[in-house]
Structure 1
Amino acid sequence: MRPARLSVVTAVATAAALAAVTGCTEKSSAKGGDRVVEVTATDDECEVSRKEFPAGHVELAIANKGSKVTEVYLLFPDDRVVTERENIGPGTTQHVTAEVKPGDYRIACKPGMKGKGIRQTVRATGGTATGGTAERDPRLDKAVADYRAYVQRQAGETLPLAETFAKAVEDGDLEAAKKAYAPSRIGWERTEPVAESFGDIDPKVDVREDGLEDGQDPATDWTGWHRLEKALWQEGKIGAREKQLAGRLITDLKDWRERVGKADITPTSMANGAKELLDEVATGKVTGEEERYSHTDLVDFKANVEGAQKSYELLKPVARENDPALVRDLDRQFAALNALLDKYRADRTSYDFTSYDKVGKADRKELSDAVNALAEPLSKLAAAVVK
């Protein structure tokens, strides 16, 4: 899920930690100045250096000059997400590369990481979606096709698991619902950036209570997995409201399953999505905030890593050719993180992970360090793919 709005102190600390591992001091990687859009975010403005740029590969060079943690989105006119970068701390800069077709877009800065943000209309002109007249490397077309099939498969496999969870809730079977909860989320967590790209599905199914927008009432507006998680583990009850929410969860997940096959997927969105999954781990799973009632964070953690690694492996043939040193580093860091996660489960094929409330401070620090070590080179994958 998208990170919940944090307190000022926590948000700044989290953003600072992420900035240290996301290439925030990285030099511009886009080819040609007309393909770089400088975005200057403050607490009440969102300025862009150009409002027109060639279609193809574009880089957002983001500088947060405000006092609040911010996030920046490149959006389609209907608010679907092309790319995003979250948790950008005050005084830090970040770079994100995206692939865009000719047409109108919106750049949105969200100081405080809430609301619809301050927006600028921009346009990609002429050219092609691959940055010029040349055809895209067929290996990248295959990577996109294979990833689309993977996302659709994950959605298809998630639905029956979620239906098992929902039925247990509707039957009032507390223990069966608890047992079915974490497995029902694995496919979602593996492919979450695609779901988030639609804008409206993630807030329905995966928002935490502190991620609700201002003015929303938890009693009536909070829906999805985490609302049910709280009922099952903290409240220890299943009432009429929870049974209703179980049915709504299935309706929303069916909507997700129908939409994923039509998602806009590009090689850069795959690479950026892999990075976003690591950010999800850093801001929610390592901290224990994501599954604060069930403590099943390590299941989500593993699924996020698996999803990131799937994107990477599909893009790896091109990335290896363009930046072999980066690929060696990513191979090493993925192996190290997966080996560390294996310490917390019964066997290497099981999702029976240690309850996260049993993981001590020193072990959480070790997990955090391994995530950071992977996130830094992973932030360079999109640029490597488009060299």
Structure 2
Amino acid sequence: MIRTSRPLLALATAPLLLLVACGGGSSAAGGTSGGEAAEGTVTVTLTDDGCTAEPDSVPAGPASFQVVNSGAGAVTEAELVNAGGRILGERENLTPGLTGTFSLQLEAGDYTIQCPNAATDTSPFTVTGAAPAGTEDPLFAAATSGYQDYVEQQVADLVTATGAFAAAVQAGDVARAKELYGPARVPYERIEPVAESFGDLDPTIDARIADVADPSTWTGFHRIERALFEQGTTEGMAPVAQQLVADVERLNTLVQTTTYQPADLANGASALLDEVASSKVTGEEEAYSHLDLLDVAANVEGSRTAFNLLVPALQVTDADLVTTIQGRFDDVQAALQPYRRGEGYALYTELTPEQVRDLATAVDAVAEPLSQVSGKVVGAANQ
């Protein structure tokens, strides 16, 4: 989820935040990890005044974006947005001194660099000419087709689960609504970066109260979560539930015509682990229900699915990296296993600080090598 500026997170998650926020395996010193997308590198500098891209124009084709926080306190993310308003790539959770990267294959056109919370939060970016003609790698084509199918299925499941959840809310059945809240969250968390790419849609579905300027406009899952789990009521939530159903159905319509490039899968896989770092493993996401571990597991599942679809192509270019990432995903899922409770997970409040730290460390260990994948994918697709 796109977040507003927040205080520093709990000490238990500090190692995770440091490395996940660094994106392409870079530190305050910068640098890219894969190397394949070095040509067409753009440096985006974040300050409290705004975000500037150097250069602010590149030829169509592969591009790697290095996002550098040069001391901004209020600004911790940058996004590349196309003329239609869709977020194509982003890097979040960059506190002062940190650098993150993402890579993309870009077509000619006018874009913007956006940095929420800056005094001037947009700047123009241009892609010129036409990308060199090439033959699409059938392994990458299979990956993107498979991911499109996966996203469409998850959103279809989301529509069904949200409809049942909203019906219970509208019926005033608090117990049933609580029971259905978690299952409705799972498919959304598996494909959250896709929802985020549609700009204002994710905030209407998934914003927390701290993310909205006017609490009276707060909508979505977490608005209902607070009523159910903190206040023990559905009073006043029927219109919110109806709006949630409409927003989820809008998401379903949008994904039917959305296509993906291989770098989208890689960037999305990393973004899902960013989600774990920024709000899930800290207990901030599900502040009233405390179902954060359910979200963590769903984020990890979605990340691993996107990565697995890329594996056949990545095996050709870097089989060792594939082995490393697969092993570390196994470690994360093993770290979550002790907290399984039937179809769900233990409440976040049941974990000790040491257990949270151990889980964060396991996620951190896969996030670092996974952050190298988008550069390798973009490089391989242009060889």
Deviations along 1:130-175, whole A, 9 cap, x unmatched? Answer: xx22122121111111101110011111111111111111111110
Q: Residues 186-265 of structure 1 correspond to what in structure 2 (within 5 A)? A: 186-212=186-212, 216-218=213-215, 220-239=216-235, 241-265=236-260
SS in 2 for 1:332: helix
1:120 aligned onto 2:115? no
Name the CA distance, whole Å, in 2 between partners of 1:142 and 1:274: 17
Shift of 1:285: 1.1
Specify whether residues 181 and 256 from structure 1 end up closer, same or farther in structure 2 by C-alpha distance, changes over 3 A only. Answer: same
Structure 1 partner of 2:25? 23
Q: Which runs of 5+ in 2 are unaligned?
A: none
Q: Which runs of 5+ in 1 are unaligned?
A: none
Residue type matched to 2:26 in 1? C
Shift of 1:5: 2.8
Specify whether residues 15 and 118 from structure 1 end up closer, same or farther in structure 2 by C-alpha distance, changes over 3 A only. Answer: farther
1:267 aligned onto 2:271? no
CA contact (8 A) 1:271 1:312 kept: yes
Q: Greater shift after overlay, 290-299 or 337-346?
A: 337-346
Shift of 1:18: 3.4
Q: Residues 88-107 of structure 1 correspond to what in structure 2 (within 5 A)? A: 88-107=94-113
Name the CA distance, whole Å, in 2 between partners of 1:58 and 1:150: 26
Residue type matched to 1:73 in 2? E
Specify whether residues 246 and 45 from structure 1 end up closer, same or farther in structure 2 by C-alpha distance, changes over 3 A only. Answer: closer
CA contact (8 A) 1:30 1:58 kept: no
Q: More relative contact order in 1 or in 2 (CA 8 Å, sep 6+)?
A: 2
SS in 2 for 1:151: helix
Shift of 1:186: 0.9
Shift of 1:245: 0.7
CA contact (8 A) 1:53 1:123 kept: yes
Structure 2 partner of 1:41? 46
CA contact (8 A) 1:73 1:81 kept: yes
Name the CA distance, whole Å, in 1 between partners of 2:263 and 2:37: 18
Q: Greater shift after overlay, 330-339 or 12-21?
A: 12-21
Specify whether residues 133 and 21 from structure 1 end up closer, same or farther in structure 2 by C-alpha distance, changes over 3 A only. Answer: closer
Q: TM-score, normalised by structure 1?
A: 0.91
- From 80, 84, 87, the equivalent of 1:78 is 84
Name the CA distance, whole Å, in 1 between partners of 2:257 and 2:37: 31
Q: Greater shift after overlay, 60-69 or 373-382?
A: 60-69
Structure 2 partner of 1:375? 367
SS in 2 for 1:262: coil
Q: TM-score, normalised by structure 2?
A: 0.92
Cα RMSD after superposing both structures:
2.2
Structure 2 partner of 1:136? 136
Shift of 1:121: 1.5
- From 262, 283, 288, the equivalent of 2:283 is 288
Structure 2 partner of 1:342? 337
CA contact (8 A) 2:87 2:196 kept: yes
Aligned length: 373
Name the CA distance, whole Å, in 2 between partners of 1:109 and 1:5: 11
Name the CA distance, whole Å, in 2 between partners of 1:189 and 1:18: 18
Percent pairwise identity: 36
Structure 2 partner of 1:62? 67
1:302 aligned onto 2:308? no
Name the CA distance, whole Å, in 1 between partners of 2:366 and 2:346: 22
Deviations along 1:34-92, whole A, 9 cap, x unmatched? Answer: 51112222221322222221212101122211231421111102321010001112122
Name the CA distance, whole Å, in 2 between partners of 1:116 and 1:224: 28
